[in-house]
Amino acid sequence: MRVLVVSDGTPDSEAALAYGIVKARETFGQLIALHVHQRHFSSDEAERRAAKQALQDSLRCFESLRVLIHNHSCGIPASVDFFIINDCNDIVRYASKTQIDIIVSPPAFEAMFSNARCLVDIISSEDEQSVNS
Q: What is the pLDDT of residues 64-92, one digit of tens each?
A: 888 877 777 667 898 889 988 888 889 99
Q: Is the pLDDT of residue 114 over 50?
A: yes
Q: Is the pLDDT of residue 62 over 80?
A: yes
CB 95 within 8 A of CB 116: yes
Question: What count of other Cβ atoms lies within 10 Å of the Cβ of residue 64?
Answer: 14
Q: Is the pLDDT of residue 43 over 80?
A: no
**Quick one: fold of 2-132?**
Rossmann fold (3.40.50)
pLDDT for residue 73: 64
Q: Is the pLDDT of residue 131 over 70?
A: no
pLDDT for residue 51: 79
The fraction of the chain above a pLDDT of 70, given in percent, is 92
**How many helices (H) and strands (E) are present in the chain, helices listed first?**
4, 5
Beta-carbon contacts of residue 34 (< 8 Å; ≥ 6 apart): 4, 5, 6, 7, 80, 81, 82, 83, 91, 94
Q: How far apart are CA 8 and CA 82, in angstroms?
A: 10
Within 13 Å of residue 28, how many CA atoms lie on the same side as its CB? 0
Interval 101-120 mean pLDDT: 89
